[in-house]
Amino acid sequence: MPKIDIKSLEKRAEKEIKNSKNLKDLDGVYKKYLDKKGELSKVLRSLKKLPEVKRTKLGKKANELKVYLKKIIEQKSKKLKEISRKQVYEKEWIDITIPARKPVLGHLHPLTQVKREMEEIFQLMGFSVIEGPEMETEWYNFDALNIPKDHPARDLWDTFYLKNRLLLRTHTSPVQIRYMEKNNPPFRIIVPGRIFRHEATDAYHEFNFYQLEGLMLDKQVSAANFKAIIEEFYRRFFKKSVKIRMRPSYFPFVEPGFEIDMTCTVCLGKGCPACGKTGWQEMMGAGMVHPNVLKNSGLNPKNWQGFAFGMGVERLVMMKYKINDIRFLYKNDLRFLKQF
C-alpha cells in the first residue's frame, strides 16, 4: 500500500487550479483529481484497505479535501467565466450611438428633373399631363396632321419605319389627334415623351430626344394667349425673364405657324456650336391648330380653336444649365451627371 500524501495532493491540485487559464484547463484539473478515476477518488477507494483508526482519520481529511477542491474549482470557474465574458464584451462591443453609414444614393437624370419641373409649371396653369405611344401609325404621325403621303413636308422628319406600316414617332404631335378623338374641348393638355429621328447628331441635335407637346382648345383662344402662357412658363422655369423671339415658320398642322427661340445661355448670344453659331437657340415649334387637324379628329373647326406647341426638352436642359453639347445628356458619364 503506497503512502498516501494528502497534503502534497492538496498542494498540487491547488497550484493547478490556480494556474488554469481557461475553463478547459480547469475541467482537466477536475477530471484529474475528482472524477471517478481521479487521484482523490482513488485515495478514497483505497481507504477500505487501511486499519480503522487510520481509515477514519485519512477518510475525514480526504473528504474535507474533496469538498475544499470542489469549492475552489467552483470559485475559479466563476472567475474564469467572468474574465471570458469581459473579453467577449470588449471584442464584440458595438457603439450603437454611432450614426449608420448612409447608402450611396443616386439622383434623377437632369432630363427627368427638367421634365418634372415643366410638368409642374404647366399643371399649375391648368394643363393635364397625357401620354401616347412611341410606336405610331402613319395616320397619326403624318396624315391626320395634314401631311398626306408624298407631301414634301414629310421630309422635315427623317423617319425610322418599322414593319407592318408602323414607325417610331418623329414628334409628340400625334397625341394631339389621339386626345381630340376621345375628348371634347375645352381642354389644355401637355404630352411629354420620347421621339426618334433618323438624323446625324451634333452639339444640338440627337436622333432620340424628348419633346413636350402642348394643346389648348376652347371657343376663343388666340396666338396672344399662346404668347402669354409661354412667357409665363419661361419666367417660372428660369426664375427670371429671358429674351425670346417669335418668328413665322411652317408646319402643315398649324396656321399660322411660328417658332420660338431664346438667347443662347452658353454664349450669351455671341454664337457657339450649341446654337449653330446664331446666338439663338430654337426652343419650339408652335401655331394655331389647322382646321383640317380638327376635322381629322372629329371636331368642328367652326366651334373650336386653339394653339399647339412642341418644345425640345434637351434644349431647355441645355439652356438652364449652360450645357454646350446635347450629347452629354446621353453619355452616362458620372462626372457629368453628378453635377446635377
Catalytic site positions = 157, 171, 197, 211, 254, 308
Among residues 154, 169, 171, 188, which is the contact residue for ligand FA5, using CB under 6 A?
171
Among residues 173, 296, 297, 305, which is the contact residue for ligand FA5, using CB under 6 A?
173
Q: Is 284 in the site for ligand FA5 (CB under 6 A)?
A: yes
Give the residue with the Cβ less far from ligand FA5, 13 or 293. 293
Residue number with the smallest Cβ distance to ligand FA5? 312
**Interactions with ligand FA5, residue window 129-158 (CB under 6 A):** none
Return the C-alpha cell found at 279: 446666338
Separation between Cα atoms, residue 226 and residue 234, nearest integer Å: 12
Among residues 38, 174, 285, 306, which is the contact residue for ligand FA5, using CB under 6 A?
285
Minimum distance between the CB of residue 106 and ligand FA5, rounded to whole angstroms?
25
Spatial contact of 308 and 287, defined as CB atoms under 8 Å apart: yes
Give the residue with the Cβ less far from ligand FA5, 167 or 286. 286
Give the residue with the Cβ less far from ligand FA5, 74 or 134. 134
Q: Is 159 in the site for ligand FA5 (CB under 6 A)?
A: no
Q: Is 169 in the site for ligand FA5 (CB under 6 A)?
A: no
Give the residue with the Cβ less far from ligand FA5, 144 or 254. 254
Is residue 67 exposed (0-12), middle (13-18) or buried (19+ Cβ within 10 Å)?
Answer: exposed
Spatial contact of 284 and 245, defined as CB atoms under 8 Å apart: no
- Indicate the pairing of strand 254-263 with strand 187-196: unpaired
- Indicate the pairing of strand 128-129 with strand 187-196: parallel
Give the residue with the Cβ less far from ligand FA5, 30 or 307. 307
Q: Is 211 in the site for ligand FA5 (CB under 6 A)?
A: yes
Q: Is 227 in the site for ligand FA5 (CB under 6 A)?
A: no
Separation between Cα atoms, residue 14 and residue 75, nearest integer Å: 12
Separation between Cα atoms, residue 263 and residue 279, nearest integer Å: 6
**Interactions with ligand FA5, residue window 293-332 (CB under 6 A):** 308-310, 312, 314-315, 326
Return the C-alpha cell found at 71: 469549492
Q: What is the dihedral of CA 158, 180, 229, 133, to 10 degrees?
A: -40
Q: Which listed range, 11-19, 56-64, 117-125, 276-284, lies at the site for ligand FA5 (CB under 6 A)? A: 276-284
H-type alpha helices, the chain? 6-19, 23-34, 39-46, 52-92, 110-124, 138-141, 174-182, 223-238, 291-296, 313-321, 334-337
* Single-letter amino acid, residue 270: K
Where do contacts with ligand FA5 occur on this chain (CB under 6 A)? 171, 173, 197, 199, 205-206, 209, 211, 251, 254, 257, 282-287, 308-310, 312, 314-315, 326
